[in-house]
Structure 1
């Protein structure tokens, strides 16, 4: 399948649904799920009188999720669950005007620590990280603040990191009586949506995501569909209008991400191994085999051998099950509403976006590239055609072992 990046520029507020807190309050998600774009294509085909082609057209496309960005040619990524920041002074150090102590990723250090423990190493202290930055730039006193998980999205431009925080807008509306054609008493409801621009910056907001297709000509059809129909909910009430275009995204090749991942892991491994050897444990100073991570860019619907929900991602490699040696995952509620059915979608327990799994195999990293590329294209778990189970192999932020 051919990979294409699409950029959607909102012209109106966008509401993509979420868990309903109450009947009079409609919340939104902070990204565009692939199922929303998929539904827009199906609705457009229906309006064109091509309802019989919906199943065949949709089956030839796989929809990734669209994440908020400041540029149509810049793909933002969600933070993995292993990314942390100082609780007292959060934020990137490299962002313009930021006083944050930096954001770092703990996965490689945690994997090296865990693997060394399995090989018999003993450390004088447990694995615990604190902020070692100065409290203020003009004061030498160390912060020692607790590190907490970072949520949201980030971009990297010209070597500098920035967080993306879409702005939410609130609109209050009134329900109308179809019989009286007037407002109904005590039937106000509030709609939360994403504004077309970023908070306090006057910068346009874009949503950039991945589409896999067997026929590149379907991309033009998809762009026409979302531009005419809109995306998300309430498209007939002033929400969801977007303009669509293809994007050229510079992404580090998978083979290079895999090599950099193993090189950074070897560096962290060596430092911890030297500490373990000082404590009297004779352990290897370098890892054996090839390691890689599978990072969820969207929620995933995973099941075990009995069909029951699970948080553990087991891969199939060379005819055998490949278990993760280390993983960090959170649960998520999977649901939604199908406009085609006019009914809610089946609800299930899933794995939240940002969850990450680490695996080890014997051999060189180059031997894994073809298999891992296919895994990225196919996704993991069930309902991948709806945007669930989108993955990125060796998330580039895992390389940021030191605060940035």
Structure 2
């Protein structure tokens, strides 16, 4: 599988949301860009280029059989998988695991309880370093030279606009609406720099990657840059970004030995990096990720693998979206929320086979809507070992 790293540079405020809030005239924005938003924006740009977009009906270029073929390869059933784009340059981000605990008063101290759950050890809900209360960790984490830290999220601004009367083409009395959007600049002292979103696109083969390159070359402007508008309120000046890309580094090898040594038995974990939409054989949302469901999605999982419910922590959320092709909202689906942790054990004699399967999973997504970035998994996240709360309690809180 081929992977490329994408960088989107904001040129205008970006409003990206799942749906309206309970107040129908207020649209809240996410802090990041889901893969489906970029996928839809690129698809619309290509269809408008060849004159086949049903909604806008614009033709911005001549019909090109080469571009048409590239579109089918990139956006077809077995096409590219567009990952989520995050507002920080560290590509090794994770959502805070459901086993994570954060210091409520001092965000520098982050812990994880997975090893304690595996060993059936008790742990205090007070920080080993400061004595302050611990609470369930939320948000996104990045790993740097000084260890794990909370990822800074960009500021958002609320824009209030006046509703228009389509017949009079003038402001309509008594109609206001508000759009929350991500600020396009990051303040750095008195000056600011454009906000950058980082993600990746996965292709099943080199042919798909070449088709993606053909699409971007067709969309380049006279300044040799790829400009797009994505998200909500594009006709109001929101959502302008420029896109660049380069080859992504190979994923790090999966470490099973350290997990087995720390837990006292052979185990591995799967951390939901993005929402995972999985259904059981009856068509209902799966209650958990059983080995049978994993093997169905990615064959080759050894038969000795079994789930450890006592060290599995699951959260759920609803996902939706907007389909530009349909001109309608996408169905609301139930998913395992980012940060859900699934823990498994296996026969030690099958360690090599388990490691090979997990290495494949680093570039393979599970479940539905994988082309939009859903279903991405982090096997054996080092966060569980680096911030294991038992090692700090046993050492009396020493770093």
Q: Which category of TM-score, normalised to the shorter sequence, fits these structures? A: 0.7 to 0.9
Deviations 1:263-318 (A, max 9, x none): 15523x4xxxxxxxxxxxxxxxx31x3x2111111111121221101340122154
Give me the whole-angstrom Cα distance separating, in 2, the residues matched to 1:83 and 1:222.
41
- 1:157-172 alignment, distance < 5 Å: 157-162=144-149, 163-172=151-160
The 10-residue stretch of structure 1 (199-208 or 229-238) with the greater mean CA deviation from structure 2: 199-208
Partner of 1:387: 373
1:62 aligns with 2:62: no
**Residue aligned with 1:66, SS:** coil
Match among 326, 331, 334 for residue 349 of structure 1: 334
For residues 68-147 of structure 1, the aligned pairs below 5 Å read 68-69=87-88, 71=89, 74-87=91-104, 89-92=105-108, 102-113=109-120, 126-134=122-130, 143=131, 145-147=132-134
User: C-alpha offsets along residues 26-60 of structure 1, whole Å, 9 cap, x if unaligned?
Assistant: 11111111111110121011111164654443132
How far 1:235 moved relative to its partner? 1.9
Q: State the secondary structure of the residue aligned to 2:36.
A: helix
Residue 210 in structure 1 maps to residue 206 in structure 2: no
From the superposition, tell whether residues 306 and 351 of structure 1 become closer, same or farther in structure 2 (CA, over 3 Å): same
Alignment of 1:166-185 (within 5 A): 166-185=154-173
Mapped partners of 2:276, 2:102: distance in 1? 26
In the alignment, the residues of structure 1 paired with residue 227 and residue 209 of structure 2 have an alpha-carbon distance, to the nearest angstrom, of 20
Aligned to 1:154: 141
**Match of residue 192, structure 1, among 144, 167, 180:** 180
How has the CA–CA distance of structure 1 residues 147 and 248 changed in structure 2, closer, same or farther, with 3 Å as cutoff?
A: farther
Residues of 2 paired with 1:233 and 1:148: CA distance? 34
1:174–1:189 CA contact under 8 A, matched in 2: yes
- Give 1:321-332 correspondences, 5 Å limit: 322-325=305-308, 326-332=311-317
Q: Please name the residue that 2:261 is paired with.
A: 266
Deviation at 1:249, TM superposition (A): 5.9
Q: Deviations over 1:151-180 (max 9, x none)?
A: 222333333544322211111112222221
- Equivalent residue for 2:57? none
Normalising by the residue count of structure 1, what TM-score does the alignment of the two structures yield?
A: 0.78
Comparing 198-207 with 34-43, greater Cα deviation is found at: 198-207
CA RMSD in angstroms comes to 2.7
- Mapped contact 1:40–1:229 kept (Cα < 8 A): yes
Contact in 2 for aligned 1:74/1:249 (Cα 8 Å): no
Change (3 A) 1:371 1:319: closer
> Which runs of no fewer than 5 residues in structure 2 stay unpaired?
53-67, 221-225, 393-398
Question: How much has 1:68 moved relative to structure 2?
Answer: 1.7
SS of structure 2 residue aligned to 1:381: coil
Deviation, structure 1 residue 378: 2.5
Offset from partner CA, 1:42-94 (integer Å, 9 cap, x none): 1011111164654443132111111220x3x654332222221122x2312xx
Instruction: Tell me if the contact between 1:66 and 1:207 (Cα under 8 Å) persists in the aligned partners.
Output: yes
SS at match of 1:367: helix
Question: In structure 1, how many angstroms separate the alpha carbons of the residues matched to 2:155 and 2:215?
Answer: 27
Distance 1:50 1:58, change over 3 A: farther
- Alignment partners' CA distance in 2, 1:251 and 1:110: 31
Measure the CA separation in 1 of the matches of 2:177 and 2:283.
39
Q: Does 1:18 align with 2:18?
A: yes
Q: So what's the TM-score if we normalise by structure 2?
A: 0.79
Quote the Cα distance in structure 1 between the aligned partners of 2:276 and 2:250: 23
Instruction: Give ranges in structure 1 of 5+ residues lacking alignment.
Output: 93-101, 114-122, 135-142, 270-285
2:261 and 2:125 mapped to 1: Cα distance? 19
Change (3 A) 1:80 1:39: same
Q: CA deviation at 1:220?
A: 2.9
Q: Take 1:199 and 1:104, find their aligned partners in 2: how far apart are those partners?
A: 30
Q: Secondary structure at the match of 1:366?
A: helix
How far the C-alpha of 1:321 sits from its partner, in A, is 9.2
Partner-residue secondary structure (3-state), 2:312: strand
Once the 2 structures are TM-superposed, how far is the Cα of residue 211 of structure 1 from its aligned partner? 0.9
Displacement of 1:209 in angstroms is: 1.1
